[in-house]
Amino acid sequence: MPSDLRSQPFSILLTLGESTTWGMCATSEDRRWANVLARLISEFQGQAVRLINKGISANSISPRSPGYDASAKPSALERLEQDVLAHRPDLLVCSYGLNDMRCRMHPEEFREDLRTVVRTVRAHCEPVTVLTTVYHMTGWERYAPFDQGTPEATRVFNLVIAQVAEEEGAVLADIHAAEGGADWMIHPDGVHANDLGHRIIAHRVFEALAQRCSCLALTCERG
């Protein structure tokens, strides 16, 4: 029996991540995975959760990611205070690794930065924290400097993310496994999820949460 991380309804869901977190290539806002996830949580806990989506296109986890300068935007570590801590979420979904992997960030540097994100947020507001694995993609050769990733690098980054989740007591949502390598879940740009992909991502995150948070059964009969 897994430990129950949350028995009371969630109030604020904050999604922190890259362009797919923001909802790139979904055909409407309500088809973005963050919005689908918020609806599922609200339905099953019997109380609306407020969604704060802090996904940013081309975002990196820290300034030492090789794609940081090309991004020209504050990294996850640089925007924690304003974009996360100021909102005091009780549920955080952190989705990084795709861009950092694609620009060949060293996996151990990524591990250190991801761990810092989790620990910094936990020290301020102790949300239930979900870490997602790197998404499936097909357009490896596109969009320099984010054109240096490989399936093997994806495997390494996903292992690192799983290890950080276990070490830090976070929930792991294995999005890559949920997509199953199905190219038809990817938009023609080769990087972002299409509507089906967004739906699968949302359901895998919800599945991972449902296994660890009894609040998501508040509207259900239970044995």
Q: What is the pLDDT of residues 167-188, one digit of tens each?
A: 999 999 999 999 999 999 999 9
The pLDDT score that the predictor gives to residue 26 is 98
Position 37 pLDDT exceeds 70: yes
% of the chain surpassing 70 pLDDT: 100
Q: What pTM does this model have?
A: 0.96
Q: Hey, which residues does 55 pair with through a beta bridge?
A: 17
Other CB atoms within a 10 A radius of the CB of residue 8 amount to 12
Residue type, 14: L
Closest to 199 in 3D by CA, of 74, 30, 54:
30
CA separation, residue 209 to residues 40, 61, 190 (Å): 11, 23, 28
